[in-house]
Amino acid sequence: MSVLAVAALILMLLGMLAFPLIPSLTELHNQRDAKPLSVIQEHAGEIRHFASGFRNYISGLRPALQQCVATGTTAHGVLPDGCEYLILGKTVKFPEMKMRDKEPLCELVVLAGTLLKTPDNTTFAHEIYAGEDLVGGENCTYRAILGEKNIRLAPGTTVMRWVHSLGTFSTDHHCDLFGRVSSDRSIHLGVNTQFLRVNAPRIELGSLAIIDDRDNDAPVFGDTQSRIVHRLLVDGDYEIGPKEVVTGSVVSRGRLLIRSGAKIHGSVKSHHELTLETDVIVDGSVISASKMTIGNNCLLHGPIIAERQMAIAAGTRCGSSTQPTTISSPRIDIEEGVVVFGTLWAREYGRVVVNL
């Protein structure tokens, strides 16, 4: 009797101890979540990733598209995943679409083999493939666009996910570009356009952005009065004087102010606000752990990173055609007349403004 009671007591105790461990033991046995954390080995952050995926997705429709172009006809059908598609073999008026909130809604994947003009005020809920130029209507909303030639979007356009153009890509004023926008040639963003991630060999912001002879040049440092600092680390605020030439990198743990006409043959960084006045040249990177303000007509060749926000004034060149670069900040305000070569990446909010 007493032995049984002791055994029962021990069993009960063990049971009580094991009870909270039931989920652990179950997981240990069943291994429902025992795979390594997913690290995509092939992922290289390529901006054209979704465009490439879409190209593969519609690759099966290529013969049908070619046939429609050759015969000048249109075709309908259903893709293997159940999505309906529309192939346009000639420039036609868009077929009748269903209405949502009194505005036309296109729920088809659209493939156009000739010039494509989209009607105004239309929402395209699926991707568009444009084999030739695409000219967008006003106030349209697109999910995504892949263009083999040039893409031109009208005022009030919204792109929800991505656009990739093998030719030039341009928007008129007041467009909203969410997601990725890329071009193999050049991008022109109109004023009051919002953007997040933009990549092209040449990106022009606003109509004042023009080609000039600074675009292809590496910075010239012919000055003899250069102050050589190797790496200057300053515990506090620091200022580089007007037209001063510095060879080496400057790191300020406070604010950093670079006066007009200064030239830095190296990189600069500040822990707090970083201000570049007009006509500053930096051939390395420009980095602020806080806010950054870049004045007119600066020439900056390395990556430009501000951890909080950034404002870039008209006439500034970031990168060059031979040395593309990245501009990155959560919030970017960029004045009409700036040219960027490479990547412009606003994590939260980017905007082309008429005046800063």
Partner 1 sequence: MIIPLYIIVAIICIYTFRHYWFTLNRLFGFQRHPYIDTDTAEWPPVTILVAAHNEEKVVANILGALMTVKYPPEKMLIIPVNDRSTDRTREIIDEFVERFPGRIQPFHRKEGKGGKAAALKDAMELVKTEVILIFDADYIPGAGLVKQLVAPFFDPEVGGVMGRVVPMNCGANLLTRLLDLERSGGYQVDQQARMNLRLVPQHGGTVAGVRLSALREIGGWNDASLTEDTDLTYRLLLHGWKTAYQNRSECYEEVPETWTVRIKQIMRWAKGHNQAMVTYAIRLALGRHRATLRERIDGTLLLGVYAIAPVTMIGWILALGVFYQGVAPLHGLIALFGITAYASVGNLAAFFEIAAAVRLDGNRQRVSLLPFLILGFSVSIFAVSHAAWSQLVGLVRKAEFHWDKTERFRKAT
Q: Is 4 helix (H, G, I), strand (E, B) or coil?
A: helix
Min dist. Cβ of residue 298 to partner 1 (A): 17
Work out the end-to-end distance of the chain between its first and last CA atoms, rounded to an integer number of angstroms: 90
Is 342 a binding residue for partner 1 by CB under 8 A? The answer is: yes
Is 348 a binding residue for partner 1 by CB under 8 A? The answer is: no
Comparison of 120 and 235: residue with beta carbon closer to partner 1: 235
Min dist. Cβ of residue 93 to partner 1 (A): 40
Read off the DSSP letter of residue 315.
T
244-247, Cβ contacts within 8 angstroms, sequence gap of 24 or more = 245/221, 247/221
Which pair of tokens denotes residue 64?
């049908």
Min dist. Cβ of residue 179 to partner 1 (A): 14
Comparison of 138 and 215: residue with beta carbon closer to partner 1: 215
The candidate with the shortest Cα–Cα distance to 241, out of 223, 255, 261, is 261
Which of 153, 154, 245, 268: binder of partner 1 (CB under 8 A)? 268
Min dist. Cβ of residue 182 to partner 1 (A): 11
Min dist. Cβ of residue 346 to partner 1 (A): 9
Residues 11-70 that bind partner 1 (CB under 8 A): 20-21, 23-24, 26-28, 31-37, 39-47
The candidate with the shortest Cα–Cα distance to 123, out of 110, 134, 135, 107, is 107
Comparison of 123 and 328: residue with beta carbon closer to partner 1: 328
Is 285 a binding residue for partner 1 by CB under 8 A? The answer is: yes
Contact between 333 and 356 under an 8 Å Cβ cutoff? The reply is: yes
Contact between 85 and 76 under an 8 Å Cβ cutoff? The reply is: yes
Is 165 a binding residue for partner 1 by CB under 8 A? The answer is: no
Q: Is 338 helix (H, G, I), strand (E, B) or coil?
A: strand
Comparison of 118 and 267: residue with beta carbon closer to partner 1: 267
Contact segment (CB under 8 A) with partner 1 among 67-75, 76-84, 139-147, 228-236 equals: 228-236
Cα separation, 36 vs 64, whole angstroms: 42
Q: How far is CA 309 from CA 113, 192, 279, 344, 346, in A?
A: 42, 18, 21, 13, 9
Cα separation, 288 vs 277, whole angstroms: 15
Min dist. Cβ of residue 177 to partner 1 (A): 16
Contacts of 12 (CB under 8 A, 6+ apart): none
The interface mask with partner 1, positions 294-333, x = CB under 8 A, is: -------xxx-x-x-----------x---xxxx-x-----
In the complex, the residues that contact partner 1 under the rule CB under 8 A are: 20-21, 23-24, 26-28, 31-37, 39-47, 199, 231, 233, 235, 249-251, 253, 266-269, 284-285, 287, 289, 301-303, 305, 307, 319, 323-326, 328, 342-343, 345, 347
